[in-house]
Amino acid sequence: MMIDKVLDIAQELKQELVEVSEFILENPELGYEEFMACKAHVDLLKKHGFEVEEEYMGIKTAFKAVYDSGKPGPAIAYLSEYDALPGIGHGCGHNLLGTTNTGAGIALSKLLKDYCGKVVVYGTPAEETSGAKVEMTEKGAFDEIDIAIEVHPSDKHYMSGASLAMQAIQFTYRGRAAHAAADPEHGINALDAAINTFNNINALREHIKSSSRIHGIITEGGKAANIVPELAIAQFYVRATTKTYLEELVEKVKNCARGAAMAAGAELEISNYEASYDNLVTNKILSETYTKWLREVGVERIEGPRESFGSLDVGNVSHIVPTIHPYFGICEKETAGHTREFAQATKTPLAYDSMVKTMAAMVLTAVEVITDKDLLARIRDEFNSTRK
């Protein structure tokens, strides 16, 4: 039976994947510095017969690995990540995230000769900072792809949900230095402009959609209390449920800074200090297909769609290709992400068993998409209808 065959293939790959996941867990590397982790994935994919393009699109720790059946058909993408967090290592579990998505790609490749199409595993660096998927999407990395699946470890299994669109905005205010006590009337206080931007934004908060988020810091606010600050820099993340509302909100936030700069008499420069993330749009038909297979391979408890107030770079992919980003459960009890506890939870027998089942569901989903033309057509129709 198909389910047993796929589970057997996933089970056979388990030990190799465990080794890679634990190596990456013990050697955490930050975004765009994931050289060892990237190599571990590339070596494994090459060993299993994938054609690998390293330093994909000029990004040193990105790759594209392809296994083609040689017969025209759907292109299935799995997205791997392997970056860690400063100080707490793999608190987001990207060590296990990477091996589960790469593992699904390898498992599917073992079946592909019986079908058609191809499987592509993408190595996508720096999800925690300025995610590479943004640049990869802009440069057309996913244009040939029919469906994209990325699974993320969590304490419980959740269906694919949503995440917020996000812009990272920096305000640089330039004033004029002067002796703050002896000569204040000749100074232009750049810090006042930054502080008043926060005050303006706090007033704005009362009149925005409650699902939005605006949060910021001051990274530069003067050098000494007896010098009128000539330079101030503030950085904000602005988030909203849709790209359209985000653009509207960002303009209002910029006006808060413009007004504050004008009041202080400072010059204002506006820039994006990190890549902007789009909101995640889950393809519901693809998500239902995946959830069905997850139940079939023996996962009983699956929570509803996870609506995240964070932002994910896979959001950008979901505006180009029908995409799902479900979470797979690896913990006995509730465990928060971005903690040392969660990093440790990625190396338990429960986590590895969940990895195997999750990979099997990912592969069975792909096989159904490859063999059922009508299913792919319905997935595409939904994608086209949700596109703005």
Binding residues vs Zn ion (CB under 5 A): 92
- Rounded to a whole number of angstroms, the minimum distance from the CB of residue 211 to Zn ion is 20
Measure the CA–CA gap between 79 and 58, rounded to whole angstroms. Answer: 18
Pick 92 or 121: Cβ nearer Zn ion: 92
Q: Which is nearer to Zn ion, 134 or 232 (CB)?
A: 134
Dihedral, CA of residue 206, residue 208, residue 212 and residue 215, to nearest 10: -50
> Which has the closest alpha carbon to 363: 284, 300, 303, 290?
290
Least distance (Å) between residue 93 CB and Zn ion: 7
Of 92 and 364, which CB lies nearer to Zn ion in the complex structure? Answer: 92
Task: Indicate the residue whose CB is closest to Zn ion.
Answer: 92
In the complex with Zn ion, the residue whose CB is nearer, 346 or 365, is 346
Closer CB to Zn ion, 105 or 153, in the complex = 153
Q: Least distance in Å: CB of 83 to Zn ion?
A: 9
Question: Which CB atom, from 44 or from 92, has the smaller least distance to Zn ion?
Answer: 92
Q: How far is CA 178 from CA 113, 183, 218, in A?
A: 74, 6, 21
The answer to whether 253 and 238 are in contact (CB under 8 A) is yes
Strands 303-307 and 147-149: unpaired
Q: Which is closer to Zn ion, CB of 240 or CB of 314?
A: 314
Strands 75-80 and 147-149, bridge-based pairing: parallel
What are the CA-CA distances from residue 246 to residues 179, 276, 316, 323 (Å)?
Answer: 41, 11, 14, 21
C-beta separation of 65 from 123 below 8 A: yes
The H or E element that residue 147 is part of is: strand 147-149
Of the candidates 300, 361, 308, the one whose C-alpha atom is nearest the C-alpha of residue 157 is 300
Least separation in angstroms between residue 351's CB and Zn ion is: 15
State the nearest-atom distance from the C-beta of 150 to Zn ion, in Å: 10
Least distance between Zn ion and beta carbon 174 (Å): 35
Minimal distance, residue 101 CB to Zn ion, in Å: 12
